[in-house]
Amino acid sequence: MDGFVVGGERFGSRLILGTGGAANLDVLERAIKASGTELVTVALRRINAQKASDGLLDVVARTGVRLLPNTAGCRTAVEAVKLAHLAREAFGTAWIKLEVIGDERTLLPDGVELVPAAERLVADGFTVLPYTNDDPILARRLADAGCAAVMPAGSPIGSGLGIGNPHHIRLLRQAVSVPVILDAGVGTASDAALAMELGCDAVLLASAVTRAEDPERMATAMRLAVEAGYLAAHAGRIPRRFHALASTPDEGRPDL
Amino acid sequence: MDGFVVGGERFGSRLILGTGGAANLDVLERAIKASGTELVTVALRRINAQKASDGLLDVVARTGVRLLPNTAGCRTAVEAVKLAHLAREAFGTAWIKLEVIGDERTLLPDGVELVPAAERLVADGFTVLPYTNDDPILARRLADAGCAAVMPAGSPIGSGLGIGNPHHIRLLRQAVSVPVILDAGVGTASDAALAMELGCDAVLLASAVTRAEDPERMATAMRLAVEAGYLAAHAGRIPRRFHALASTPDEGRPDL
Amino acid sequence: MDGFVVGGERFGSRLILGTGGAANLDVLERAIKASGTELVTVALRRINAQKASDGLLDVVARTGVRLLPNTAGCRTAVEAVKLAHLAREAFGTAWIKLEVIGDERTLLPDGVELVPAAERLVADGFTVLPYTNDDPILARRLADAGCAAVMPAGSPIGSGLGIGNPHHIRLLRQAVSVPVILDAGVGTASDAALAMELGCDAVLLASAVTRAEDPERMATAMRLAVEAGYLAAHAGRIPRRFHALASTPDEGRPDL
Amino acid sequence: MDGFVVGGERFGSRLILGTGGAANLDVLERAIKASGTELVTVALRRINAQKASDGLLDVVARTGVRLLPNTAGCRTAVEAVKLAHLAREAFGTAWIKLEVIGDERTLLPDGVELVPAAERLVADGFTVLPYTNDDPILARRLADAGCAAVMPAGSPIGSGLGIGNPHHIRLLRQAVSVPVILDAGVGTASDAALAMELGCDAVLLASAVTRAEDPERMATAMRLAVEAGYLAAHAGRIPRRFHALASTPDEGRPDL
């Protein structure tokens, strides 16, 4: 599996890991390693960016992954833009996973706030990766605003419901030319494989790994599933048929 | 992934490959290698068992996989039993994938013929792996008859429709203690991963690989997908939730 | 909606109601009336066929519906044949809903017992309506045995899971020329409508109505749903499209 | 089925019919009558509002239904607001189905344009019913803007794909207190019934009826399906169970 390019950077792995939800940093570190990821998201508020010895940053440094700060918890464009600037200072990166949440129950993104926030952050020099819904129209607006990728939810964050509307992910994939990263809703390996088969360039997940009973094992599963889905998407799958098609022709069969 | 045991033999790979449908033997050989399989099915009528130089047997010998002859194309128990005996002589193995087809359009198994055929072959000393439908009642009858495994169809052979009724695969898994091998219907990697997540012990597929545009690549995808699904099934996935669950708690967030 | 013919009898309603599960006979009577059904199933063991004043038979008499005795609870062909004969004597009808259950947890039918039981009952002059699974091969065997209809389960009895495998119901519909009656698994109105759209001739349900909070209201819903599904199945539905198709053409639009 | 109230008006029917796509006005008139609808949508550009004798308006007058003009084909808020004002003048009604389309291929709504258009039209005294996507966050914004209802797409207009994401329709239903009207994507009767079971107050459809082979029959089917779904939604359906639940208890069964 050749890597994918987003924001001008090439990544060997098409799996992006969120760092929230892990029982402790040791579990997280092993999950990061097992997943093979090269990019992890991190919330500004969960670490003390001032302290050089902060544990999460140590894990990041040791594993050699790149940091993608997010604006988790923001409810308005203004909040998200402020938090993005704080994160840029704290982490020394202009990459930002832009989240503007519309609702505490669903944690679904608020498209109306998302677009101006994205426009502003692009203008401010950020590499913007917005968490969006599965709406192809909104995705194209975000791509047109200069976002480096679009990251549609498969289903609500932490729900483990997988991809609620595969048809919309396909439509969204057709609507933009920037990378599409499925973000949120993945519960198990087949969900991640399906995301890739639908044409996504990468998968971002957190709870599915960090809250699994065995995070390291699930991280390995997700690494393999993303590779499997990517390969299958590019191997020319057989068409779906209403009836059967024998794999074994009848000729040459012995008389019985 | 530790291997699985069927018929007293341990296999390191949980993927079983059918050999029908490949463009030529070279393609097949590369697909077998890429898949990592250790067990391939073969129809008696497609090879000339008398000729030591038969190409398919050479491939089998070179790749070191074990042979599982099948009774593809049989319509009655009597036919299938006869063919199984011919296959045992021809291939020198008492393993048999028992197929008794009820219908040319769907190639679905005929349970009424299957049970007496299985009973007879077990009595005749065969290690019997019957291709069955997703009916838990029939599966238990086959297990009770002494079959070494049961192999339910996900959907019709060659249809690529995936697993038509995941609920039945779960019920079937609960109904028997012998290995369950999903057989037929797999179209892409996520189908194979899902089969394992539903509790299957292995996946058997042919057309999905041999008729893909790039069989070798799809074989790799299937190898990874089966491993991913197996690991995910044993990593304690997160529960499904109607609403969201934040991966990032709110505490410690900077004031904005 | 014109009626349907089974066993030489014409029924104006395509909904068949099971009588098990109702809180009391008054609830049942109102549900029967609201459903518009003309055929209800009844288990021999739930009524005292000797007592002329048995409540359920009174309800049947008052509502004017036809009785379809069943062999619920039987586990073998022998049991089912015996019970069918008792039912014929007790109820004075040669119609029998043939049930041979393979498993207490799933209550799914045992095809291997079903076929000889059906053959025997047909030979004994019964009008046989077997409860079967969604296997088209088994359905054709039952039709070939002389059954007056086949009654595939949508999902396990009382599960309310709807139609687990719509593809199999379509395949089964193509496999036989006798009426197909979806039996078991219906939970709500859309399930019943879907059954008819898949080509079924009628729907049999019990728990969905008798165990609903408001059985009379649900009975009305089911009556309408079966009619709706039947009409839709014969109205030539629009094809499914990946993209949109405007209902409003662009010509004649005012300049804005 | 008691009626539903939207914009201060009570409607006896919960089915709303679009008038686009019919072969001719006679077909449309019969479909309107068969559907039982009391509210039909109409595009300004498809009729000549100046001519008192316009055929479509005659149909509307004869059938006694209420008119809901739409802004079909608009791509921006500015266009839609202009067209709404033209429609108010032309049809003498302040009701408007607000459509702002983001894309010709999917005809999905553009949420970013929709919100300011809705705000403006509400301020201008319109009763606004916006065609939106299945996003609960956007739906709440529209409700907060003063819209009289929200009308989420089940799937793209004219696609006949049904409800692509039932989970989102449920979440959307929880997110707003105004009526929810499923709009777009319905292909057959079970889709309409499902919409009501998911909690929608009404269903709007056009192509499913006007482009069916037999529009009048399909209109009848949709009328019944909407009623069936509404009743089922309020009858307390049985819970879904993984295993079976016998409708017939075992006690009292004859010894066999």
| ipTM for the complex shown | 0.92
Tokens representing residue C230 in the block: 């039947």
Bridge partner residues of A70 (DSSP): A43, A97
Helix axis angle, A111-123 to A136-144, nearest 10°: 20
Whether B162 contacts B154, CB under 8 Å: yes
CB contact under 8 A, D45 and C190: no
Quote the minimal CA–CA distance from C220 to chain B in Å: 29
D139 pLDDT higher than 80: yes
Nearest to B129 by CA among B184, B185, B209, B61: B184
Task: Tell me which chain D residues have a C-beta less than 8 angstroms from the C-beta of C186.
Answer: none
Interface test with A, best of D101, D113, D168, D169 (most A CBs within 10 A): D168
pLDDT at A136 over 70: yes
- Verify whether the Cβ–Cβ distance C221 to D211 is below 8 Å: no
Q: In 3D, which of A72, A102, A75 has the Cα closest to residue A87? A: A72
Closest alpha carbon to C18 in C159, C203, C149, C164: C203
Contact residues, chain D, for A134 at CB < 8 Å: 165
Judged by CB atoms closer than 8 Å, whether chains meet at D18 and C160 is answered as: no
Is a pLDDT exceeding 90 seen at residue A110? yes
Question: In this model, does residue D239 exceed pLDDT 80?
Answer: yes
Q: What confidence score (pLDDT) does residue A242 get?
A: 87
Pairing of strands B15-18, B202-205: parallel
**CA C13 centroid distance within chain:** 12
pLDDT band (50, 70, 90) for residue B255: low
Q: Residue C154, annotated ligand binder?
A: no
- Could you say which of B33, B51, B82, B97 is catalytic? B97
Give dist(CA B169, CA B203) in Å, integer: 13
Residue of B nearest to C132 (CA): B135
The nearest CA of chain A is from the CA of B64 a distance in Å of: 22
Q: State the smallest CA–CA distance between residue A148 and chain D in angstroms.
A: 20
Q: What is the mean pLDDT of residues D6-25?
A: 94
Mean local confidence (pLDDT), B10-25 = 93
The answer to whether B158 is annotated as binding is yes
Confidence at C53, pLDDT banded by 50, 70, 90: very low
B48 pLDDT above the threshold of 80? no
Cβ(B201)–Cβ(B28) under 8 Å? no
Measured CA to CA, the distance from residue A130 to residue A117 in angstroms comes to 9
- Check CB contact under 8 Å for B137 and C103: yes
Q: Which residues of A touch D152 (CB under 8 A)?
A: none
Kindly give, in sequence order, each residue whose CB lies less than 8 Å from that of residue A36, ignoring residues fewer than 6 positions away: A12, A13, A15, A223
Measured in angstroms, the CA of A112 and the nearest CA of chain C are apart by 24
Mean pLDDT of C46-52: 51
Name residue, tokens 């029982």: A23
* C205-243 residue pLDDT tens: 999 999 999 999 999 999 999 999 999 999 999 999 888
pLDDT band of C249, cuts 50, 70, 90: low
Residue B246: predicted pLDDT = 78
What is the SS3 assignment for D135? coil
CB A225 within 8 A of CB B200: no
C184 is in an annotated binding site: yes
Lowest mean pLDDT of A163-167, B182-186, D48-52, name the range.
D48-52
What region does A65 belong to: left with phi over 0, alpha with psi -120 to 50, or beta? beta
Per-residue pLDDT reduced to its tens digit, A51-95: 544 688 889 889 999 999 999 989 999 999 999 999 999 999 999
- pLDDT (0 to 100) of residue D52: 43
Mark residue D73 as left, alpha or beta (left: phi above 0; alpha: psi -120 to 50; beta: remaining): left
CB nearest to D135's CB, from A108, A136, A174: A108
Which residue is associated with the tokens 């990041």? A60
B69 neighbors B43 (Cβ within 8 angstroms)? yes
Chain D residue with CA closest to B244: the answer is: D171
Percentage of residues of chain B with pLDDT beyond 70:
92
Q: What's the confidence (pLDDT) of residue C55?
A: 86
Mean pLDDT score, C200-204: 98
- CB nearest A44 (choices: B86, B245, B254): B254
Contact A157 B244 (CB under 8 A): yes
Write out chain C in H/E/C secondary structure. CCCEEECCEEECCCEEEECCCCCCHHHHHHHHHHHCCCEEEEEHHHCCCCCCCCHHHHHHHHHCCEEEEECCCCCCHHHHHHHHHHHHHHHCCCEEEECCECCCCCCCECHHHHHHHHHHHHHCCCEEEEEECCCHHHHHHHHHCCCCCEEECCCCCCCCCCCCCHHHHHHHHHHCCCCEEEECCCCCHHHHHHHHHCCCCEEEECHHHHCCCCHHHHHHHHHHHHHHHHHHHCCCCCCCCCCCCCCCCCCCCCCC
- Residue B56's pLDDT is what? 87
Contacts of C171 in chain A (CB under 8 A): 243
Contact residues of B toward C, CB < 8 A: 102-103, 105-106, 108-112, 115, 133-138, 140-141, 155-156, 161, 164-165, 167-168, 171, 174-175
- Cβ separation C247–D20 shorter than 8 A: yes
| E strand or H helix that includes residue B232 | helix B215-233
Contacts of D184 in chain A (CB under 8 A): none
- Say which residues have a Cβ less than 8 Å from residue D89's Cβ, sequence separation at least 6: none
**Residue D46: pLDDT band with limits 50, 70, 90:** low
User: Stretch D202-214: mean pLDDT, rounded?
Assistant: 96
Q: Which residue has the higher pLDDT, C73 or C122?
A: C122
pLDDT in tens, B174-208: 999 999 999 999 999 999 999 999 999 999 999 99
Q: Which residues of A touch C242 (CB under 8 A)?
A: 167, 170
From B143, B172, B202, select the one nearest B2 (Cα to Cα): B202
For chain D, counts of helices (H) and of strands (E):
9, 10
pLDDT in tens, B133-175: 999 999 999 999 999 999 999 999 889 999 999 999 999 999 9
Subunits with 3+ Cβ pairs within 8 Å of B are A, C, D
- Residue D230, token pair as written in the block: 């509404």
A225 carries a ligand binding annotation:
no
Q: What local confidence, expressed as pLDDT, does residue A52 receive?
A: 43
- The pLDDT, as a whole number, for residue B53 is 46
C158 a known binding residue? Answer: yes
Interface contact flag, A212 B235, Cβ < 8 Å: yes
Whether residue D181 contacts residue D230, with contact meaning beta carbons closer than 8 Å, is answered with no
- Mean pLDDT, residues C38-54: 69
Whose structure tokens read 């077998």?
Answer: B32
Q: Which tops the pLDDT comparison, A184 or B255?
A: A184
Q: Output B169 or A44, whichever has higher pLDDT.
A: B169
The Cα of A137 is separated from the nearest Cα of chain B by a number of Å equal to: 24
Contact D155 A167 (CB under 8 A): yes
Nearest partner of D40 among D194, D187, D178, D209, judged by Cα: D209
Q: Does the structure show a pLDDT above 70 at A49?
A: no
Q: Could you give the CA distance from residue D38 to residue D1 in angstroms, rounded to a whole number?
A: 14
d(CA A60, CA A49): 13
pLDDT single digits (tens) B217-239: 999 999 999 999 999 999 999 99
